[in-house]
């Protein structure tokens, strides 16, 4: 070899390198490791985030132990076995399992599936039936409607409604649906007439023939509407009973639809609907909404075939079988699968590339891989190698069998070498041989002026590069750093070298030259007329990060709660949010998960936690990891307290009345969230500030707890006392209870006076005596037994005369009066009993005289002579003794007298 000739070529190459270098962005070069400043050509400037030079693309040839070379295996499954499938009512999804390689890293890459012989049968959907809760009266001019959902575009064949009544004509209508954005619900829109029928009390079946085109309604929803000629009822269940598959409305005269309600609950009117397919001859996939893996099967009429489905979707992690899922929008449909063809590829293989480098020699590359993944149940085996574009592809060998690869030299830094009709490895590995030339030895990377070789760095670091050669070189050496996108990020030239085995390059300041994060490549190049030195080393530049917990720490939740944990993941070097990160979390150091994580696209990430999935109660910790390719992993922790969800019930209500001095028992139920099962062995805690109540509690068993209150020391009042207490149990949610207790003062009713001046009774406890035939005014009052005073707060006296007649009167003075009418309500000489005299005063006990007796006695009487008749003989009247004297003896005398009550 003549180095004189080589030196001439070196000079030309130097000029070329200098020209190329001049297009690179200038770099502030630091003089390190004793390198002479004048030996550098400065080609870098510092920018906060540098734009790469897209005109200079990456070219990758790796020497020594080279990069792992990507490989891809392919094989095909093809089956013509006819498989019959159907979706019975209530089962919309059906699937078939297609044979797949056992290696879960084989991906499906292409599908071709054909179907035919589609049969769609009529079916009836029961929207709401069962034991009814009530009925909705039908109107003569305003519709009552209830909804149903059609499976797809089809025909409404019939419907059935459960009505009550006779003798009326019922008119039926079909409404399509629209969405009411204001109310946030689906409502009837326009209508068409379905016909009429006679009313009877039963399920009434109505045959119709209406086209249900899903394009003419909202969300495949329709409504059946009825109104009547004169009467009738439509039976219903309240919501919460049965299927709840329907929305029932009535039209308000104000011009809007409103829910039909009963006892505060919306209702479901009883309805059944019968459907028929739109097309009953040759049924195409589009007629019944047939889909495979969630996408439509195309109509494809060719012989027995009516549908064809093709897809290039990749499905990873198959592992022995590939599940192909069929769904059909129309229930009760059958179809046949005629052919299934699936291409499988395994693209996660890498093969080690090795080479033998000798000075002035060609680099011989050998790529070896043991392959035992081809299965005899499949066909068309292929192997694809992706090799650097600068290599020359030679032959491939399976032990001694030689193959000639087909090279697909596409645009880019790699080319594909395909081996067709391949197979598993025999005695030795598969081997692909290539050639290239190289004269280099190695390159070392030193971080922040250190002495240890490194292949990773961060945004704030600086790097030194050291290129090594097998033999001394002279001339200029160019070093370049390429971004993960394959564009030039940094370049400089060390020139005028003489017989050097190692070449240092100036400091690479990452923060001033970075165009992106990721896997970078540093290459150095030297060449003369015959030799080329080309070495590449990959290294990673990662972002320095921080993970901040945004959500407030240590909240309290229950097992029924759904809540978010928000974290902020940011790049501290660029002071910017990191989007597209991977967030994983583990609850109480459990298995990490990335489920229910939402990237909010601003560096914030929401982790949605479902309380019922946590699996534990009490103090819970969530360890959160944030990562992204080429961004530092960071962690934080979130803590919260979780209680089991509970419910409460006060079976006796929340309001109590008690007479001062008596006890009242408040019964409280502490329940699991099924509102049925009681929580036992809990603790009742007194929260109320009403210390005057003496309180105690007992465990009634089965989740029932009795709070006993003694009102002896509590002041009576018309205003209720609020009593607060709670019941708690371990990790179960504490329930807070509030009841009101009205404490009534003790009272007594007494008779104050009677209006007859001469009433009375002979001894204590004897009945009151009143004159028959004379109205008697009875005055009563209510006495506060706590102080003996009459109550003047106003009230009402309720009197019952022998249980038949009520008299009511009120008086703010505290005294109340009523009248005894002995002419009509009593019998002279007989006792008369008032069975109840009660007075109700706000804030006081309602008390009564349960039985008050009166003796009805005759009034004093007097006799008066009205006339004396002695015929014609005159009489002499003697007033002194009230006598008359006649003049004839023996004559008849007639005397008329009257008896009077003397009530004066």
Q: What is the mean pLDDT of residues 705-719?
A: 89
Q: For residue 527, what pLDDT band results from cuts at 50, 70 and 90?
A: low
- The DSSP symbol for 543 reads B
Residue limits of CATH 2.60.120 in the chain: 75-121+283-343, 130-269
Report the run of H or E that residue 366 belongs to, with start and end: strand 362-369
> Tokens 């005894």 identify what position?
820
Would the pLDDT of 403 be above 90? yes
pLDDT at 692: 86
Token pair belonging to 640: 């919260």
**Sheet containing 256-259: which strands, arranged edge to edge?**
185-198, 169-180, 221-228, 144-149, 248-252, 256-259
Considering the chain, tell me which residue range(s) the CATH 2.60.40.10 domain(s) occupy: 545-643, 646-744
Give the mean model confidence (pLDDT) for residues 210-230.
94
Q: Where are the alpha helices (DSSP H) in 664-774?
A: none
Instruction: Tell me how far apart the alpha carbons of residues 10 and 4 are, in angstroms, rounded to a whole number.
Output: 10
How many other CB atoms sit within 10 Å of the CB of residue 514?
23
Partners of 563 in beta bridges: 609
CATH for 1-56+349-542 (3.30.1240.10, 2.120.10.30, 2.60.40.1930, 2.40.50.140): 2.60.40.1930
> What is the phi/psi pair of residue 525, to 5°?
-135, 140
Model pLDDT, residue 34: 32
24-33, 164-173, 278-287, 787-796, range with the lowest pLDDT = 24-33
Q: Which fold has domain 130-269?
A: Jelly Rolls (2.60.120)
Q: State the Cα–Cα distance between residues 809 and 12, nearest whole angstrom.
A: 128
Whose tokens are 């090795």? That residue is 354
Which H helix or E strand runs over 824? helix 822-825
The Cα–Cα gap between 638 and 607 comes to 11
Q: For residue 38, which phi and psi values (nearest 5 degrees)?
A: -70, -10
What integer is the mean pLDDT of 304-318? 84
pLDDT at residue 401 tops 80: yes
Rounded Cα distance between 875 and 886, Å, is 5
How far apart CA 513 and CA 515 sit, in angstroms, is 7
For residue 248, the cross-strand partners are: 146
With b for 16 or more beta-carbon neighbours within 10 A and e for fewer, the 523-560 pattern comes to bbbbbbeebbbbbbbbbbbbbbbebebeeeeeeebbbe
Residues β-bridged to residue 895: 868
Assign domain 747-857 to a CATH class. mainly beta
Q: Average pLDDT of the chain? A: 81
Q: Which residues contact 259 (CB under 8 A, 6 or more apart)?
A: 247, 248, 249, 266
Task: Name which of 692, 689, 694 is nearest 717 in CA terms.
Answer: 692
Segment 543-561, tens digit of pLDDT: 999 999 998 878 999 989 9
Q: What is the C-alpha separation between 627 and 547, in angstroms, rounded? A: 10
Query: CATH second-level architecture of 646-744?
Result: Sandwich (2.60)
H/E run at residue 18: helix 3-21
Q: How far apart are CA 611 and CA 764, in angstroms?
A: 75
Q: Report angle CA 428, 434, 439 to the nearest 5 degrees.
A: 120
The pLDDT value given to residue 888? 56
SS3 421: coil
Which fold is adopted by the domain 545-643? Immunoglobulin-like (2.60.40)
What DSSP designation does 141 have? S
* 633-691 pLDDT, tens digit each: 999 999 999 999 999 999 999 999 988 889 999 999 999 988 788 999 999 999 887 77
- Asked whether the beta carbons of 398 and 426 are under 8 A apart, the reply is yes
Per the structure block, which two tokens stand in for 648? 């409460």
Nearest CA among 495, 492, 487 for reference residue 22 = 492
β-pair partners for 520: 539
What are the strands, taking DSSP E only, across 104-153? Answer: 106-120, 123-128, 134-137, 144-149
Q: Two tokens at 889? A: 């003896």
- For 808, phi then psi, to 5°, come to -125, 135
Instruction: Give the architecture (CATH level 2) of 75-121+283-343.
Output: Sandwich (2.60)
Tell me what pLDDT residue 22 has: 34
Mean per-residue pLDDT for 181-186? 94
Which H/E stretch holds residue 3?
A: helix 3-21
- Report the distance separating Cα 463 and Cα 456, nearest Å: 10
Is residue 562 within 8 A of residue 604, CB to CB? The reply is no
3-state secondary structure 470-511: EEEEEEEEEEEEECCCCEEEEEEEEEEEEEEEEEEEEEEEHH
3-state secondary structure 231-261: CCEEEEEECCCCCCCCCEEEEECCCEEEECE
* Residue-by-residue DSSP string for 177-200: EEEETTTTEEEEEEEEEEEEEE--
Is the CB of residue 293 less than 8 Å from the CB of residue 311? yes
The 3-state secondary structure of 721-747 reads EEEEEEEEECCEEEEEEEEEEEEEECE
Q: Which of 403-412, 678-687, 870-879 has the highest average model confidence (pLDDT)?
A: 678-687
CA distance 478 to 524: 6
CA distances from 819 to 90, 773, 775, 780 (A): 77, 12, 7, 11
Judging by DSSP bridges, how do beta strands 298-302 and 392-398 pair with one another? unpaired
C-alpha separations of 244 from 134, 240, 269, 734 in Å: 15, 7, 10, 32
Q: Which residue carries 């990873």 as its tokens?
A: 316
Residue range 83-132, pLDDT digits in tens: 888 887 656 668 888 888 888 888 888 899 999 998 888 889 899 988 89
Give the pLDDT score at 570. Answer: 96
Supply 413's token pair: 């830094």
Please list the residue range(s) of the chain that carry CATH number 2.60.40.1930.
1-56+349-542, 747-857
Q: CA dihedral in degrees (877, 883, 889, 892; nearest 10)?
A: 100
Instruction: Specify the range with the lowest mean pLDDT, choosing from 275-279, 371-375, 414-418, 731-735.
Output: 275-279
Does position 8 have pLDDT exceeding 60, yes or no? no
Give the whole-angstrom CA distance, residue 236 versus residue 248.
Answer: 9
Rounded percentage of the chain residues whose pLDDT exceeds 90: 39
């Amino acid at each position: 070899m003549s180095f004189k000739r080589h030196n001439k070529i070196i000079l030309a190459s130097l000029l070329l390198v200098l020209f190329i270098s001049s297009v690179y962005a200038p770099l502030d070069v630091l003089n390190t490791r004793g390198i002479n400043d004048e030996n550098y050509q400065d080609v870098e400037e510092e920018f906060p985030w540098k734009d790469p030079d897209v005109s200079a693309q990456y070219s990758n040839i790796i020497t020594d132990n080279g990069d792992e070379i990507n490989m891809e295996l392919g094989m095909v499954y093809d089956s013509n076995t006819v498989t019959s499938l159907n979706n019975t009512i209530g089962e919309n999804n059906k699937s078939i399992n297609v044979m797949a390689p056992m290696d879960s890293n084989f991906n499906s890459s292409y599908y071709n599936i054909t179907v035919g012989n589609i049969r769609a049968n009529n079916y009836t959907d029961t929207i709401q039936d069962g034991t009814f809760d009530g009925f909705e009266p039908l109107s003569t001019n305003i519709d009552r409607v209830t909804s149903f959902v059609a499976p797809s575009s089809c025909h409404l064949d019939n419907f059935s409604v459960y009505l009550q009544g006779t003798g009326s004509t019922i008119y039926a209508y079909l409404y399509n649906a629209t969405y009411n954005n204001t109310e946030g619900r689906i409502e009837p829109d326009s209508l068409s007439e379905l016909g009429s029928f006679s009313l009877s009390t039963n399920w009434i079946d109505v045959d119709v023939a209406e086209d249900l085109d899903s394009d003419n309604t909202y969300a495949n929803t329709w409504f059946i509407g009825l109104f009547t000629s004169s009467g009738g009822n439509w039976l219903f269940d309240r919501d919460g009973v049965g299927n709840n598959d329907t929305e029932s409305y009535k039209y308000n005269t104000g011009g809007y639809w409103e829910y039909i309600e009963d006892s505060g609950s919306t209702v479901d009117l009883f309805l059944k609907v019968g459907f028929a397919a739109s097309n009953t001859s040759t049924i195409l996939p589009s007629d019944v909404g047939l889909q495979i893996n969630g996408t439509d099967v195309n109509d494809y009429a060719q012989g027995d075939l009516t549908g064809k489905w093709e897809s290039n979707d990749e499905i990873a992690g198959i592992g022995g079988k590939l599940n192909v899922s069929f769904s059909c929008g129309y229930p009760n449909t059958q179809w046949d699968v005629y052919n299934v063809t699936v291409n499988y590829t395994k693209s996660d293989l890498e093969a080690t590339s090795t080479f033998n480098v000798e000075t002035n020699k060609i680099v011989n590359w050998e790529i070896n891989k043991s392959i035992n993944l081809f299965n005899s149940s499949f066909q068309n085996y292929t192997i694809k190698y992706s090799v650097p574009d600068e290599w020359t592809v030679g032959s491939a060998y399976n032990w001694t069998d030689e193959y000639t690869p087909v090279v697909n030299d596409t645009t880019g830094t790699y080319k594909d070498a395909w081996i067709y009709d391949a197979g598993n490895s025999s005695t030795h590995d598969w081997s692909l041989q290539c050639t290239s030339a190289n004269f280099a030895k190695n390159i070392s990377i030193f971080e922040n002026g250190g002495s240890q070789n490194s292949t990773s760095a961060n945004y704030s670091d600086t790097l030194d590069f050291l290129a090594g050669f097998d033999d001394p070189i002279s001339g200029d050496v160019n070093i370049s750093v390429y971004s993960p996108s394959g564009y030039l990020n940094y370049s400089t030239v060390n020139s005028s070298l003489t017989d050097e085995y190692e070449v240092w390059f100036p400091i690479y300041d990452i923060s001033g030259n970075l165009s992106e994060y990721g896997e970078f490549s540093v290459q150095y190049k030297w060449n003369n007329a015959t030799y080329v030195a080309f070495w590449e080393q990959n290294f990673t530049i990662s972002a320095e990060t921080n993970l901040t917990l945004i959500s407030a720490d240590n909240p309290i939740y229950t097992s029924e709660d759904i809540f978010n944990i928000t974290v902020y993941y940011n790049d501290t070097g660029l002071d910017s949010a990191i989007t597209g990160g991977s967030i994983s979390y583990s609850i109480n150091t459990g298995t990490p998960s990335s489920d229910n994580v939402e990237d909010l696209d601003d560096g914030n990430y929401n982790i949605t936690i479902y309380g019922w999935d946590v699996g534990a109660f009490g103090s819970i910790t969530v360890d959160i990891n944030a990562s992204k390719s080429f961004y530092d992993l960071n962690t934080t922790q979130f803590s919260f307290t979780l209680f089991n969800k509970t419910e409460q019930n006060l079976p006796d209500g929340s309001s109590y009345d008690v007479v001062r001095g008596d006890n009242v028992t408040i019964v409280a139920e502490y329940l699991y969230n099924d509102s049925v099962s009681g929580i036992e062995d809990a603790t009742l805690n007194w929260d109320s500030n009403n210390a005057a109540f003496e309180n105690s509690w007992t465990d009634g068993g089965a989740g029932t707890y009795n709070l006993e209150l003694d009102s002896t020391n509590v002041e009576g009042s018309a205003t209720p006392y609020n009593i607060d207490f709670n019941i708690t149990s371990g990790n179960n949610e504490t329930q807070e209870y509030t009841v009101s207790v009205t404490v009534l003062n003790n009272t007594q009713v007494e008779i104050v006076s009677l209006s007859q001046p001469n009433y009375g009774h002979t001894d204590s406890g004897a009945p009151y005596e009143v004159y028959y035939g004379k109205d008697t005014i009875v005055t009563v009052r209510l006495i506060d037994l706590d102080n003996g005073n009459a109550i003047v707060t106003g009230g009402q006296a309720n009197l019952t005369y022998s249980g038949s007649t009520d008299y009511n009167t009120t008086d703010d003075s505290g005294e109340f009066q009523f009248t005894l009418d002995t002419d009509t309500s009593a019998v002279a000489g007989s006792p008369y009993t008032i069975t109840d005299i009660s007075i109700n005063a706000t804030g006081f006990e309602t008390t009564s005289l349960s039985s008050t007796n009166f003796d009805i006695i005759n009034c004093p009487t007097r006799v008066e002579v009205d006339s004396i008749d002695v015929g014609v003989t005159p009489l002499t009247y003697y007033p002194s003794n009230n006598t008359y004297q006649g003049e004839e003896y023996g004559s008849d005398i007639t005397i008329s007298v009257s008896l009077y009550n003397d009530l004066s």
